[in-house]
Amino acid sequence: MPQRFTLRVIFAITSGSALLFGAFSALQAPVLFVLWFYGLLMFVAVAQSFLFRGIRPRASSIIAGTLYVVASCLIAIAVVIASNVPYRLSGMPCICAAVFFGPAAGYVAGLLVASLLAVVDIGERIVKRRRSPSDVDGNTD
């Protein structure tokens, strides 16, 4: 994660978010899943910036994914209990599944975030190369 967000990074994040939203819309994904996934992406991006001082993004993604999925599971259990639905949800299988699914979800979210930022970094390097003079004479052909 970059320490400083340039206009290119903000534009890339907005464009990537729009593409992902379009893909979810084309697949007719449920709105709650789309919101949950965007929340996961934001949580993982923030974790990559701050956990381990940004040095270990994979570990940060896995930890953030696990925490996010377990918290989502706990919220779902609380909503089911509070709504007095006759369906009885046992919390332990849900949390066990979340502990196994969380690291994978965090890793995938971290991969998406890192891929987007890698594309931005490559684009910035290409732009910098084109702006620098190609030879000593000042000819920029």
CB 103 within 8 A of CB 62: yes
110-139: per-residue pLDDT in tens? Answer: 998 888 888 888 888 888 887 766 544 555
38-97: per-residue pLDDT in tens? Answer: 999 999 988 888 888 778 888 999 999 999 999 988 888 888 778 877 666 666 777 788
* All structural domains of the chain with their residue ranges: 30-123
Q: In whole angstroms, what is the distance from residue 43 CA to residue 109 CA?
A: 9
6-21: per-residue pLDDT in tens? Answer: 787 788 888 888 999 9
Is the pLDDT at 30 greater than 90? The verdict is yes
